[in-house]
Amino acid sequence: MSEHRHGNGPEHDHPHDNHFTDMEARVKALESLLTEKGLIDPAAIDAIVETYENKVGPRNGARVVARAWADASFAEWLRRDATAAIASLGFTGRQGEHMRAVFNTPETHNLVVCTLCSCYPWAVLGLPPVWYKAPSYRSRAVIDPRGVLAEFGLDLAADKKVRVWDSTAELRYLVVPERPDGTEGISEEALADLVTRDSMIGTGLALSPGAVR
């Protein structure tokens, strides 16, 4: 069973284009030119992008999730007013002004998509991954969410409901994954190490303690 929810408020209020914007095209052209001249190393640029996609940005969201796991009152605040709760930890900014937290449970798994473009909560998740912006993910996450999750290596029980949340320019989502077993008594910092970017989008689960180096 799956559900598809649109964010509250009017539809996206900005243009949608699956091609590069003028600025993106210029950046790509400049990168190619500098690479040809031997002035930059594409591998170094990829490493920097990887850092911001998977290490720096998502650490903010991981701290939010870890606090919710460790503090029931914060979890309730996050459920009631995610924007304020997240801001209380110092994470605010453009594309993160209006947030909603959706909590995974044994009965329900949440998945986030933006079907019309690539609205994404930069303040807590950093840069959006390439696949999040791809037309195939944006359409198939709604049509066949279980199939998409399986491609990410996430096979859910047949009786678990999948709820798909459609981000908009007015409202963005943060998935709070289920807390892994065997994490009782560990520090909030250690809990944050278990939270991945994909688990906060819904295409993955939180890591088990033994999976963290």
Dist CA 162 CA 203 (whole Å):
11
DSSP string spanning 177-212?
PPPPTT-TT--HHHHHTT--HHHHHTSS-PPPGGG-
Dist CA 184 CA 195 (whole Å):
15
pLDDT in the model for residue 159: 96
- DSSP-assigned beta bridge partners for residue 112: 165
pLDDT in the model for residue 157: 95
102 with 165: CB under 8 angstroms?
A: yes
pLDDT in the model for residue 206: 98
pLDDT in the model for residue 88: 95
Tokens in use for 76? 């309730």
176 with 85: CB under 8 angstroms?
A: no
Relative to beta strand 2-6, strand 108-113 is unpaired
CATH T-level fold of 2-32+39-211: Nitrile Hydratase; Chain A (3.90.330)
Tokens in use for 116? 């019309």
User: pLDDT tens for residues 17-63?
Assistant: 445 566 567 767 777 877 777 777 878 777 666 655 555 579 999 99
pLDDT in the model for residue 51: 57
Burial of 91 (0-12, 13-18, 19+ CB in 10 A): buried
∠ at Cα 199 (145, 52), nearest 5°?
A: 115
Helix (H, G, I), strand (E, B) or coil at 129: coil
Task: Write out the catalytic residue numbers.
Answer: 114, 117-119
Tokens in use for 26? 């210029």
For the chain, what are the domain ranges?
A: 2-32+39-211
**Residue segments in the chain with a per-residue pLDDT below the cut of 50:** 9-18, 96
Dist CA 150 CA 107 (whole Å):
18
pLDDT in the model for residue 37: 74
Measured in whole angstroms, how far is the alpha carbon of residue 128 from the centre of its chain? 7
pLDDT in the model for residue 54: 56
Dist CA 168 CA 133 (whole Å):
13
Model pTM above 0.85: no
